[in-house]
Chains A and B, each alone.
Chain A
Amino acid sequence: MHQVKNPNIRPLTFVGLRLLFGRPANEQYNDLYRARHSVFWGAVLGIGISLVPLYIVLFVSNGMIQGITDRYLETKTSHLQMSLPFSFDATQRNALTQDVSRMPGIISTSFEVDGIGLAASQNGSTSAQIRGLDGAVLQDKGFNRFISVDEGQMYPNRQNEVVLGRYLARKLEVKTGDSVTLITLRSNDSTNYLPKLAVFRVAGIISSGYRELDANWFIIQSDAALRLLNSATAYAFMGIKISKPYGSDLDRIASEVSRAGQKYGLTSEQGARVRTWREIEKSLFQSFSSTRSVLVLIMVIAIIVAALNLASALTTFVIEHRAEIAIIRSFGVSRTQAALIFLLGGTATGAIGCIAGSLAGIAISIFINQIISGMQAILGFASRLLSADRQTIQLLNPDYYLEHIPITMDWRFVVLILLSGIALSAIASILPAMKSTSIAPAELIRHE
């Protein structure tokens, strides 16, 4: 007598998978047979399909968030901001800039004065987000990477020139060469505000690829902004870019920069604070990640439903195949082995579904931009057939989505999703497997 100490998995999966899926390539199989096994292919399909949206949501939202974050960091927020008093004079500012740019880990600095105003053209008026930039942005790699120039140039070469965000230009219905009037408020004391008018010539129209970010950009030279705005209505700061904005030494570099500022008498009591992009854009990214969490939760529920479907298919199978289970038990298969047949069979079923779903989900994610533009083209064509108006169809509203979604494969997600999908299938198989152990081989003897 010998006991099988290590129940060999291979015979169990051999029997389990064949029982569940049958043999596809046999012409002798009748329709009833096929119907019986199609339940399993249905369960596989269910699990596979439930994974696809999860991948898409994860990769697309990650890509979106990453893409949007990069654009904020490179074209607007910078990695660190050191706020400067409005009165801080230019020579001191240049000295400080020199000091900070020489610090290790820092790749560039630029001076910016921000404020708000009202922009008006012959065709309309709208609020404008004034960005007084210094010429350093032209050398900034990140800025150049994400800013695309629709017309004209990227930076105003003269004090009376402006570069507009694409949607601001559209609202004002202006082109390069047109004039735009900017109305700002100045105050000498904090109670009386006086409007101030200035006329700018449009030198260029640009886009960051994310409308929410650049919709109201009114880019002028920083000196022009200093003249138009004052401390009550504007915010002046040094934008600092470091080599690893997502790295862990962001805070350390921030405090070093802060220390450098102290040499120039800049303290946080004065309002000269160094903040990291994480602090500045905190609410934005919190809302991104909570939206993503809700979506992922919905997707996870879909996967659980698919697992329940697998559990019910397996249970039905066990009930319908009592005799086969009893016969397997009668020739010396233990309860544990019988249960393992279904546990492994169910898990393998889930694994097949998970792998197929992962392949499909990853493929769709990688080609999501092409798929979206293809769908837009088809829908656009259909709508032109159906109606006369020549409106282009946009599936993703560019106000809230990037025009091009940067997809980066994160294999940790793939592994995580695969493993949890397979684990869930295993859990779903537990109950049917236990049910199979209650089938006694004695049933055979009194069959019919």
Chain B
Amino acid sequence: MSEPIIFCENLTKTFSSSAEVLRILDNADFVLEKGKACTILGPSGSGKSTFLAILGSLERFDSGTVKIAGYDLGQAQEKMLHIFRREVIGFVFQFHFLLNDFTALENVAIPAYMAGVPRAESWDRAKKLLDLVGLNNRATHFPSQLSGGERQRVAIARALINQPSVVLADEPTGNLDPASASAVKELLKSLPEIARTTLVLVTHDPELAGIGDSSYLLKGGHFECIR
């Protein structure tokens, strides 16, 4: 077994409201090897998004260990986390969250440009990625000029721009009609291979649930390997 790129042990995350304490993750373990893809399934409200947010360092956790690509997220200082996000993680959300005032190409290029990559190189990389997601003819279009599926593909390209070791995708087709979703699905299926990245995909879609190397069901705060 090769070195795990994602390593979670005894991971606990609670949300406390005035009435009760919700144990979203309860001493959960989760391990994924570098370059592998897995899907996470589970009923709505089971904590899938919360888990992805923890992996992406957007959310902190109560106890346990989370180590990703050499970063110990439990130990890392808050002000260093943006470096982790920039270097390690690519995020794809249910909603595309493209910046309306920027073209497709600019949307893809900005994370690199902001990370200190020279402008020309950022735009170059972004062009290649738009090519990869099949939207090179839409480079100068603004999000408002793209279809839902196209926007999500631009968002996927953006997640890849800084060559992340881990891509976290949270129901990326959840907001799309079946017609728009199909191209996105095709893209996601081939993603681990073409982008040479590790993929954690949360999905409800039966067609997507089968992709990758393994599937987990999140239930009662634990992961259960179902494939």
Contact = CB atoms under 8 A, between A and B. Distances in A.
B149 to A, nearest CB: 18
Given A8-B116, A331-B85, A445-B170, 15 more contacts: A4-B115, A12-B114, A26-B142, A324-B97, A324-B100, A326-B97, A330-B58, A331-B110, A332-B114, A334-B82, A337-B114, A444-B58, A447-B94, A448-B94, A448-B95
A335 interface: yes
B219 interface: no
A90 interface: no
23 contacts: A2-B116, A3-B83, A11-B113, A11-B114, A14-B113, A15-B110, A18-B102, A22-B101, A26-B142, A30-B144, A324-B99, A328-B110, A328-B114, A332-B83, A332-B162, A335-B79, A441-B58, A442-B59, A444-B91, A445-B50, A445-B52, A445-B59, A445-B93
A302 interface: no
A14 B111 CA distance: 12
Contact of B93 (A12, A23, A329, A447): A447
A231 to B, nearest CB: 83
Given A3-B83, A4-B116, A333-B114, A445 B101 contact: no
Contact of A327 (B49, B50, B97): B97
Contacts of A333: 82, 86, 111, 114
Given A19-B99, A445-B53, A447-B93, A1 B83 contact: yes
B119 A10 contact: yes
Interface in A1-34: 1-4, 8, 10-12, 14-15, 18-19, 22-23, 26, 28, 30, 33
Contact of B58 (A2, A324, A440): A440
Interface in B160-202: 162, 170
B87 interface: yes
A28 B114 contact: no
Contacts of A253: none
Contacts of B56: 330
Contacts of B89: 332
Contacts of A3: 83
B116 A444 contact: no
Given A328-B114, A337-B114, A447 B158 contact: no
B14 interface: no
